Amino acid sequence: MGTIGFLVAACSTKKEETTVFTGAAGEVKLITLDPGHFHAALVQKNSYEQISNQVYVYAPQGNDVEEHLKKIEGYNTREETPTNWKEIVYIGPDFLEKMIAERKGNVLVTAGNNRKKTEYIKQALEAGIHVLADKPMAINRANFNLLKECFDIAKQKNVLLYDIMTERHEITTILQRELSRIPVIYGEQLPGTPEEPAIVKESVHHFFKMVSGNPLKRPAWFFDVNQEGEGIVDVTTHLVDLVQWEAFPGQIIDYTKDIELLDANHWTTSISPEEFKQVTGCEKYPEFLKKDMINDTLKVYCNGDILYKIKGVTAKVSVIWNYTFPEGGGDTHFSVMKGSKADLVIRQDKEQGYQPELYVEAIKGVDLATYEKDLAVSMEKVASTYPGVTWKKIDNGKWQIVIPAKYRVGHEAHFGQVTEYFLQYLKEGKLPEWEVPNMLTKYYITTSALDMAKAK
Residue that is last in its domain, among 163, 195, 218 = 163
Q: Are residues 293 and 172 in the same domain?
A: yes
Directed axis angle between helix 435-454 and helix 141-157, to 10°?
170
For residue 218, being part of any structural domain is answered with yes
Q: Are residues 54 and 174 in the same domain?
A: no
Beta bridge partners of 264: 306
Give the integer Cα–Cα distance in Å for 208 and 287: 22
For residue 14, being part of any structural domain is answered with yes
**Residue 440 DSSP code:** H
Q: Are residues 155 and 266 in the same domain?
A: no
Locate the DSSP E strands across 160-248: 161-163, 199-208, 210-211, 214-215
Query: Do strands 86-91 and 4-6 pair parallel, antiparallel, or not at all (unpaired)?
Result: parallel
What secondary structure does DSSP assign to 114-128, as a single string?
HHHHHHHHHHHHHTT
Q: What is the pLDDT of residue 329?
A: 78
Q: Are residues 123 and 143 in the same domain?
A: yes
Residue that is last in its domain, among 110, 144, 163 = 163
Residue 54 neighbours by CB under 8 Å, 6+ apart: 29, 86, 88
Supply the range of the domain harboring residue 396. Answer: 168-413
Give the integer Cα–Cα distance in Å for 52 and 64: 23
Nearest to 113 by CA among 96, 129, 136, 87: 136
For residue 430, being part of any structural domain is answered with no
**Residue 167 DSSP code:** G
Q: Are residues 35 and 121 in the same domain?
A: yes
Q: Are residues 220 and 260 in the same domain?
A: yes
CATH, residue 236 = 3.30.360.10
Beta bridge partners of 347: 357
CATH, residue 95 = 3.40.50.720
Q: Are residues 383 and 323 in the same domain?
A: yes
Q: What is the pLDDT of residue 7?
A: 44
For residue 441, being part of any structural domain is answered with no
If one counts every other C-beta atom within 10 angstroms of the C-beta of residue 274, the result is: 9
Residue that is last in its domain, among 122, 145, 163 = 163
Cis peptide before 136 (omega within 30 of 0): yes
Give the integer Cα–Cα distance in Å for 408 and 174: 12
Q: Give the total number of structural domains in the chain.
A: 2
For residue 328, being part of any structural domain is answered with yes
Residue 262 sits at φ, ψ, to 5 deg, of: -105, -40
- Entry field: residues in the chain: 456
Q: What is the pLDDT of residue 6?
A: 44
Q: How far is CA 435 from CA 199, 252, 440, in A?
A: 21, 8, 9
If one counts every other C-beta atom within 10 angstroms of the C-beta of residue 292, the result is: 18
CB 27 within 8 Å of CB 19: yes
For residue 425, being part of any structural domain is answered with no
Q: Are residues 75 and 133 in the same domain?
A: yes
For residue 432, being part of any structural domain is answered with no
Q: Are residues 228 and 295 in the same domain?
A: yes
For residue 135, being part of any structural domain is answered with yes
Q: What is the pLDDT of residue 2?
A: 41
Q: Quote the pTM value.
A: 0.93
**Three-state helix/strand/coil letters over 175-193:** HHHHHHCCHHHHCCECCCC
Beta bridge partners of 172: none
Q: Are residues 9 and 137 in the same domain?
A: yes
Per-residue pLDDT 10s for the chain (456 aa) are 444 444 443 343 444 556 789 999 999 999 999 999 899 999 999 999 999 999 999 999 999 999 999 999 999 999 999 999 999 999 999 999 999 999 999 999 999 999 999 999 999 999 999 999 999 999 999 999 999 999 999 999 999 999 999 999 999 999 999 999 999 999 999 999 999 999 999 999 999 987 777 778 898 999 999 999 999 999 999 999 999 999 999 999 999 999 999 999 999 999 999 999 999 999 999 999 999 999 999 999 999 999 999 999 999 999 999 999 877 777 889 999 999 999 999 999 989 999 999 999 999 999 999 999 999 999 999 999 999 999 999 999 999 999 999 999 998 999 999 999 999 999 999 999 999 999 999 999 999 999 999 999
Measured CA angle at 343 (ends 340, 349), to 5 deg: 170
Q: Are residues 149 and 212 in the same domain?
A: no
Locate the DSSP E strands across 254-356: 259-271, 293-294, 297-310, 313-324, 332-338, 342-347
CB 149 within 8 Å of CB 123: no
What secondary structure does DSSP assign to 327-395, as a single string?
TT---EEEEEEEBSSEEEEEE-SGGGTTS-EEEEEEPTT--HHHHHHHHHHHHHHHHHHSTT-EEEEEE
Q: Are residues 277 and 314 in the same domain?
A: yes
Q: What is the pLDDT of residue 213?
A: 73
Burial (0-12, 13-18, 19+ Cβ within 10 Å), 150:
buried
Region class of 247: left (phi > 0), else alpha (psi between -120 and 50), else beta: alpha
Q: What is the pLDDT of residue 216?
A: 82
Give the integer Cα–Cα distance in Å for 389 and 411: 20
